[in-house]
Structure formats: C-alpha cells, structure tokens
Structure 1
Amino acid sequence: MFKKFLIAIAGFIVVVLTLGAVKAAQIQKMMSVSHVPPPSAVTTAEAQAVQWHSYLNAIGTLAPVQGVTLAADADGTITRIVADSGTAVKAGDLLVEIDTSVETAQLAASRARAELSRINFERAKELWDRNATSKSDFDLADATLKQSLAEVAAIEAQIGKKQVRAPFDGRVGIRLINVGQYVARGRALLPLQKLDPIYVNFSVPQRQLPDLARGQEVGIRVDAFADRTFKGTITAINSEVDAATRNISVQATLANPDEVLRAGMFARVEVQKSAAETQVVVPATSIAYASYGNSVFIVEKMKGEDGKEYLGVRQQFVKLGATRGDLVALTEGVKPGEQVVTSGVFKLRNGAPVQVNNVVQPTSSATPQPANT
C-alpha cells in the first residue's frame, strides 16, 4: 500500500512540474512579444503662411440716416390717413390730415376780403395816378390789401399745420392713430424712416483708434440674414472718447437698396485694417483646446527605445490668433511647412505613433459655405 502511495505522489509531482514548465514557456513567449500600441490613424495638413488682413470686431446697432416720429402740430380730429403702415413715400407727400372745416371757411371769407381789398387798391391806384385822390387814401388801400393777404397766408398756414407731410423720402412705420380720433398738439402720429442708405453705430476701445480712418471698409452681419455679409465704409469717428467706458463711437454707412436692413437691428461689425500681415494658419480641427493651454500635434520621424525610427507626434503648445472660416492663425508655436494632425487629436499623446491617411480630409476653407456662425 505504501508503495502505491509513493507512486501516486511521484505521478502528481511529475504532472505539476510538466504544467509549470508549459506555463513558464507561455509566459516567456508572451514577454517576448512587443507591447507597443498600434499606430493611430490620423489626417494631416501643412501649416501655411498666408497674407491676412487683421480685423477689429465690435457690436453695433443699425440706425436710419433720417428717422422721425411725426407728431401733430395742432389740435383736431383725424379726418384722413393717406399713407398707411409700411408705405413708401416721397418728400412732401400728404400723410395725415386733421379736420380743417373751420379754417377752410375762414379761408374763404379771408380770400373774399382780400379780393375786395385788391379791387379797392387798384381803384385807388388809378385815382392816384390821375391825381384824383389823396396820398393817405392810396396808402390806406395799399395797407388794407397787404393786411388781407397776410390774413389769407395765416389761415393757409393753420391749415398746413393740420396736413402732416413727409419731410423726406422714406418708409412709414406702423401708424399710431386712427380716423376719427382726436389728437392734441404734439401727439405722435406715425414713424417715418429713410432706410437707404443706413447707418451702423458701434464702439471700439480707445487703444484701437490708430487703426481707424474714414473710408475704411467694414463688414456687417445680422442674425436675420446670417448667410450674408453687408459691406460699408466708415463715414464718421466721434470727436471725443466716452469718459465712462474709454470707448470711442464710430459710424459706418451701408447701401440698403432692398431695405432688408432695419433700424434697431443688432449687428456684428468687422473693420478691416489697412495693412495685411503674414499669418501661419492651420485647420481649426487641429487645435486641442485645454484649460492649461491650447496645443497641436506635429507629425515627424522619431526614434523608439530600440533605436528604430517610426512616425510619431510631438505635442506643441501654441498661441491662437484670428479665425477665418475653418482656419485658425497661430502667432506662436508652429512654423510654415510643418505637418499638423487635423483629426483624431484627442486620442493622441506626446510621442505616440501614428499612421497618416489623407484620403478623406476635414474641410479647411477660409470662406466655407454655409458660413460659420
């Protein structure tokens, strides 16, 4: 029995040793395999040096070249509204008429008196020419005629004050009165604005004053027409700086023949500086944004620990400049001609191996369609 037990023990030991040898061989084989992660597939683009005009960005408000809210110049009841809301009118067009029945009757009587005064004056003049009347009678007839004509002019002026006319070409806004409504002197009747051309008023910090000049080109974008850029020129720069904000007010004029731009609109303004500057630009997708600093990954040949060369990436911190569409200018960190990763940047680390595949590239246009907003 004891002999059989020893044989069993010996067999068990042989099995354990055999299994240990097999496992050791497997571990040794696994240790001999390289554990370098496979290269990450990325796309790349070459950093380019281009000539870009710098821009000043500001927030502005559209304002009419001429705009008023017309008011009543006399008391009375509205009898006629000639120009309804939204109507285009010319200077001098009748817009609103207030009741003038009393003044019209007074005007008829005054004109009758003026006509009689004219007849008396002509008779007196004829007699005076023949020395058949005194100088005082002739002077009295002359003065009476002038007084009658002045009375006619005064009543016509009163009637004119009750006929509200357009002071300039423009477009009527939403009227504030109705026919039959009694209005007091000074009561607002309707707005009138000239929208072509139109102003955009904006402010910039005082330090940017040297970059501004009359005639400088500006680009305007509004939310209502996000796919359009309206061009204009600076026509006025304020003569003083706001003491509270240290900003200076600027006014630009834009053509608005279709009147699509309306007063009061919020506008984003870009003022183009006169001199172009050389900028190193890369696609916006190549930027790895981080709170500790923005960076790009530059593709270049590297050497591994075993001395073999491979294609890897170097993380380079950069300073961002202006943006044009899908492109970003870099003021520091990248030289023209260097290859930067444009997609897959968030899965990379410094020194990581990469495989470049540029069959499909992200868009990188300075003027994409539709435009970036």
Structure 2
Amino acid sequence: MPGRRMIIMLSIVLLVVVILASYKALWIYQQLQVLHAPKPPVSVAVARAFEKPWQRQLPATGTLKALQGINLSIEVPGVVTQLHFESGQVVEAGQTLLQLEHQTEQAELEMALADQSLARQNFNRGQELVTIDAISQEEFDRLSAEFNRHNALVAQRLAALKKKRIVAPFHGTIGIRQVNIGDYLQSATVIASLQDTSSLYVDFYIPEQAVQLIKIGQSVRVEVSARPGIFSLASVSAINPIVDDSTRNVLVRATLANPRNSLLPGMFADLRVLLENPTLQTVVPESAITFSPYGQYVYVVTQSAQSESQTPHSQDIPVFIAEQRLIETSERRDGLIVVTKGLNKGEQIVTAGQIKLEHGTPVHISIDRYQPDAQPLAIRREGEE
C-alpha cells in the first residue's frame, strides 16, 4: 500500500510538471512568433527632392542710415524771433529755417560799413595824392592798411550776423521741431533733425574670408521687419580697406534708392549679398534633415527587395522601407537646404516621423502637404505687384 501511494503521488507531481512545462513552452513559442513577426509599417510624411535655381547669398545685418542726415543746432546763444518751418516739412538747400534776435549784430555791421566807406574814400584819395607826391608813401600805406582792416571788420560782422540764422544745408525732410518763438537757446542747442532720405546706405560687416567674394557694384537684397516679404536692392558702394583686428571682420557699405520714402533711417535691415548667378541645385525641406554625431542624414523611401521579387500576378501591395543615407549640405534658406552629395532629384524623403524609424523600417507613405515639391512663397521686390 505505501508503495502504491508513492507511485500515485509521483504520477500527480509528474503530471503537474508536464502541464507547467507545456504552458511555458507555449508561451515561449508565442513570444518567438511575435519577435519574428514582420513589423507593422510606420506612417510617415514624405516629399520629393527637387531642383531649383539657387543663388549663393552671404547673410549680414545692418542699420539703415540717411545718405545725408544731421541735427540742426545753433552756434551762438540768442532768442528765437522767427521760425520758417514746420515739423515734417520738406525743405530745399539754402532755405532759411530759424532767425535769432540780431539787432545788435545788425547795428555793429552798419557801423563797420560806415567806417569801411570812409576808409575806402581815404584810400582812393590817397592813391591820387601819392601819384603827385602830395603825401608820402608811408601815409599811403597807412591808409591802405586802414582800408583793409575795415574790410576785415565788415567780414567779421557779417559772419557774426550769419550765425544768428540757420539755413538748410541740403534738401531733406525736417524732423520734429524742438523750439518755439521766444525761446532763449544756448549754443549747440538742437532745434530739429534734417534727413535726406531720397537715398539710404547701410553699413554691415562680413568675415575676412569672404572679402574676395565682394565687389563694388554687387547687388545686396535688403529686407526690413516693418515690411516682411518685400525687399529692396542695394549695391555695394564701398569696402573698407582694413580688417578690424578685434573681430576679424571688414566693413562694407551698400547704397540704395528710396524714391517713395518707404524706408526710414534707423531701421534694422536683414541683408543678403548676392554672390553669383543662380545655378540648379537639389534642395529638400529642412525638416527632412536629421543630425547625428556622424553627420547629417535623411531617410529615403525605397521599395524593398521582397516587393521587387514579387511575380507580376501577385496581388500583394508593394512594401516600402526607410533607407538611412548620409548626405552633405551647404546653404539653407526659406525652409529649404541644398544637398550637395548623397541625394538625387526626385527621390522621396521622409519629412515627418523620423523619430520612429531606423534603417530598413517598413513605412506607410502619406504626402506632406506642407512641403510642396515647388518653390517656396516668393518674396516681392519693392514696386512689384
């Protein structure tokens, strides 16, 4: 009896072990099936690499300045008696803008003119008398010196009187008036600004390595934040002949016309120096580029070898995979980047969903409607409709 019970217990234990082992084997088999099962395709957005005319540009920044611009100020103190301009008025060169009280200077000038007239008469009389030896040469020299002294005194009084008046040194637009009639002004007091905005210039710096790319007359595209999407064309008018030893940059000046006065001095300008004629380049959206310690790469969508080996009568849907490919790039602009090596025109590249990909991952394609295979939104030049 005891031996029979032992056999029954061992049989039960063996049965339990077999059941557990079978369950474990089934679970391992299922996991292996899941592990070796084909991965479901990852949904990605794609766009095609395309060619477009691409002109190399050198970016820079600067501030617009008037071709001629000054702060009008007086040289001598005095009381304002006349104002001949209003804020924002366009004035011509030589136009009188302000008059200070000048009665004292006017009286001194009249006295100097009277003394000059008497000295001239004495000088003319002396010329006649010295020819007949009625007076000595020494006396004639004294009369000549006296006449010259009064001429200089008249010139001095005229200069003093002229300083009591401010005239426009060039054609331009007056800024906000800072004075009123009756104000007593100290010397060097600014009365307003005068800006000739018919032409503007912008100074900017370029690296010394790029100096050989810049020439006089080269075109520069100027865009200001006040008018996004509209640019003006300037031309390089001067290149500083010395490199700044602290920044290793070179100062360049570009000049641009401003016939509509739509640009104002002081505006911040985003500049693009146009370096050469446009050439066809392969470009892709910037969103397609992925960075790694080994360089830049993109995922190119290709048809898998399994899909290519299908028979013509096969009803299977073609399988596409993501191929990781290293590339070389150069300039980027307006959301696009030039690919110089590693990619051909017309190839489909992933623009969204790269984080879920690795080399050889099956993909499900959806067209990226936000990355059209065409040029980006055009930027209008000033004056174009």
Match of 1:354 in 2: 363
> 5 Å matches for 1:155-174?
155-174=157-176
1:282 aligns with 2:284: yes
For the residue of structure 2 that corresponds to 1:274, the secondary structure is coil
Query: Structure 1 residues 122 and 60, CA, compared in 2 at 3 Å: closer, same or farther?
Result: closer
Q: Which residue of structure 2 aligns with residue 310 of structure 1?
A: 319
Structure 2 CA distance for partners of 1:292 and 1:87, relative to 1, 3 Å = farther
The superposition leaves residues 32-65 of structure 1 with CA deviations (integer Å, 9 ceiling, x where unpaired) of: 9x95344345454332344422111112121221
Q: Which moved more, 1:217-226 or 1:288-297?
A: 288-297
2:241 to 232, 239, 242: 239
Q: Pick the aligned partner of 1:335 from 335, 340, 344.
A: 344
**Counterpart-to-counterpart distance in 1, 2:292 and 2:89:** 55
**Structure 1-normalised TM-score?**
0.76
Which amino acid is 2:161 matched to? I
Partner SS, residue 58 of structure 1:
strand
Matches of 1:62 and 1:170 in 2, distance apart? Answer: 16
Contact residue 49 and residue 278 of structure 1 kept, 8 A: yes
Aligned position for 1:225 = 227
2:85 is equivalent to residue 83 of structure 1: yes
Segments of structure 2 that go 5 or more residues without pairing to the other structure are 1-14, 311-317, 381-385
Gap regions ≥5 residues in structure 1: 1-12
Counterpart contact for 2:47–2:348, Cα < 8 Å? yes
CA apart distance, 1:209: 0.7
Partner of 2:63: 61
Change (3 A) 1:242 1:154: same
Task: Identify which of 311, 323, 331 aligns with 2:332.
Answer: 323
Task: Report the CA distance shift for 1:320/1:218 in structure 2 as closer, same or farther (over 3 A).
Answer: same
How far off is 1:282 after superposition? 1.4
Report the RMSD for the aligned CA atoms in angstroms. 4.3
Report if aligned partners of 2:230, 2:379 keep a CA contact under 8 Å in 1. Answer: no
User: Counterpart in 2 of 1:256?
Assistant: 258
Q: Indicate how the Cα distance of structure 1 residues 243 and 57 shifts in structure 2: closer, same or farther if over 3 A, else same.
A: same
The AA in structure 2 aligned to 1:105 is A
The aligned length equals 349
2:5 is aligned to: none
Deviation at 1:288, TM superposition (A): 4.0
Aligned equivalent of 1:10: none
Contact 1:42 1:344 in 2 (8 A): yes
Checking the alignment, whether the CA contact within 8 Å between 1:72 and 1:185 is kept in structure 2 is yes
Distance of aligned partners of 1:266 and 1:365 in 2 relative to their CA distance in 1, 3 Å threshold: farther
Counterpart-to-counterpart distance in 2, 1:123 and 1:235? 56
- Which residue among 331, 353, 368 is the counterpart of 2:377? 368
Q: Aligned-pair distance for 1:31? A: 5.8
After superposition, the Cα gap between the structure-2 partners of 1:128 and 1:230, relative to the gap in structure 1 and judged at 3 Å, is: same
* Matching residue of 2:3: none
CA distance in 1, matches of 2:180, 2:304: 82
Q: 1:101 aligns with which of 97, 100, 103?
A: 103
Equivalent position SS for 1:224 = coil
Match for 1:333: what amino acid? G
**1:320, distance to aligned residue in structure 2 (A):** 3.4
